[in-house]
Amino acid sequence: MHHRRKSGVLLHPTSLPGEGGIGSLGSEACRFVDFLHSAGQSLWQVLPLGPAAYGNSPYSCYSAFAGNPLIIDLPTLVEEGDVAAFDLQSGFTNDRVDYQKVETYKMGVLRRAAANFFGGADEGRNSDFRQFCDAAGWLHDFALFMALKDAHHGKSWCDWPEEIARRRPDALEEYSQKLGVTIGEVKYMQWQFFRQWRGVKGYANGKGIEVVGDIPIFVAFDSADVWGNPHLFHLDERGRATVVSGVPPDYFSKTGQLWGNPLYNWETVAYHGFGWWVERMRSALLLYDIVRVDHFRGFEAYWEVPAMEKTAVNGRWVKGPGEALFHALLDALGPLPIIAEDLGVITPDVEALRDRFGFPGMKILQFAFGSGPDNPYLPHNHVRDSVVYTGTHDNDTTMGWFAKLPAKEKKSIFAYLDTDGRDISWDLIRASLASVGDTAIIPLQDILALDSSGRMNIPGTAMGNWSWRFKADDLGAKCAKRLRELTDIYGRTQGINAG
């Protein structure tokens, strides 16, 4: 196998700087790509780009296929003539995302843009829109789902009138007519999202930078996916989940974690040739160059908890689809550029599944210290087929993590990295880039050496996450130069055009 050393930065687009209260797919996204390029990076990793539902989490979306309309760049819509410049608001505080405020403002502007588009777009744009709608097989169901949700004041689909919750054909027809305006708005927003994302990704690819995306293994119960394909999930006759996802009790939590997603009925999914998963992966590979699969171990075996339980304690391990799923994906899509998120309690069977298909796993340096020289996350134990991180979106920033460590663990870090800890973020960045692992990815927060205020997510807490943003002047030439020099030293800039 050809090993090419490369590295990149983890940053979700909502964290980009700029006006409008949230990062978006406009000029700031391209400016970030320019930074990556000048810093010698060849990867940009993002979190899931779907329309976030509960708690604004990109890991809990209304659809596994759609894009998040909140990151559509509005100035671009002004240039295209769909909205007037005076419709755009400044006056947001731009250091954190206030999702409620942003949603009220942006959805209002996007609806006006849709009305203007349908009221008078030229033939070229119209036909581009129609082609998009025809090509996206998931789109009408998603748009109808969102329109129905809106018409039922945000209620979960299982609480809608039975004929539409159950998708009776005449009801689908009737509501599609009745909610036509809202459905059109949703489709317009998706068209704009995908056009803008294609532009940003194309810009990145043109500079030799690949985009690493992320797909959660499970989907949200209240999503177009479950409403549209109830037969693929373990639901009862009323459409409620009978069993849900989670992880068993461990060192981090005495009661485990109860995630609550509905579980796939893998027998049925397999009976249908894994078609839903093939389409899901196909759409992910259109969005991204490389796909990180979250909770990879769930394909080998997953923790199943009866839906009535209040914690994850009373669950059981159930065999997942294993190799059969990945063979189906390979047959349909060819080589799979997948990163396996293999954190947590990993058994030899999970490792065998990962290695059987040559998927690299993940190594997190924040998990490496304090338990002796055999810890698999310590750099001297890394393997080439791995992706090394200082931390992920679920961890504290390196500065925040280090500040909270007991003295004994700090001492083992000082000894291992031969450091005094004054520049601990960059000590860990250096260790990541020096690792034998083919790929290293650094959260932008660590490059900026931020404390816990830069943390993206605290797992197990519902509110206040996903809102961190950086400021335009945080990323200067000095920062790019420092990162590029280390990337050069450790042989990760080969083959990148130096421009």
Residues classed as catalytic: 294, 341, 394
Q: How many CA atoms lie within 13 A of 404 on its CB side?
A: 9
**241 close to 264: Cβ distance less than 8 angstroms:** no
Kindly provide the b/e burial profile for residues 298-325, where b requires at least 16 CB atoms within 10 angstroms of the residue's own CB: bbbbbbbbebebeebeebeeeebbbeeb
Q: CA-CA distance, 149 to 51, in Å (whole number)?
A: 14
Under DSSP, is residue 466 helix (H, G, I), strand (E, B) or coil? coil
**442 close to 427: Cβ distance less than 8 angstroms:** no
CA 449 centroid distance within chain = 23
Q: Which of 287, 282, 241 is nearest to 260 (CA)?
A: 241
Under DSSP, is residue 286 helix (H, G, I), strand (E, B) or coil? helix
Q: CA-CA distance, 244 to 266, in Å (whole number)?
A: 14
Q: CA-CA distance, 147 to 331, in Å (whole number)?
A: 36
**297 close to 359: Cβ distance less than 8 angstroms:** no
Q: CA-CA distance, 315 to 249, in Å (whole number)?
A: 10
**Measured at the alpha carbon of residue 110, what is the angle toward residues 105 and 116, in degrees to the nearest 5?**
130
**46 close to 211: Cβ distance less than 8 angstroms:** yes
Q: CA-CA distance, 247 to 59, in Å (whole number)?
A: 16
Query: Residue for token digits 């744009």?
Result: 125
Residues ≥6 apart with Cβ < 8 Å to 241: 221, 233, 234, 235, 262, 263, 307
Q: CA-CA distance, 61 to 406, in Å (whole number)?
A: 37
**How far is CA 52 from each of CA 57, 162, 232, 241, 305, rounded to the nearest angstrom?**
5, 26, 22, 21, 24
> What letter does residue 69 receive in the DSSP assignment?
G
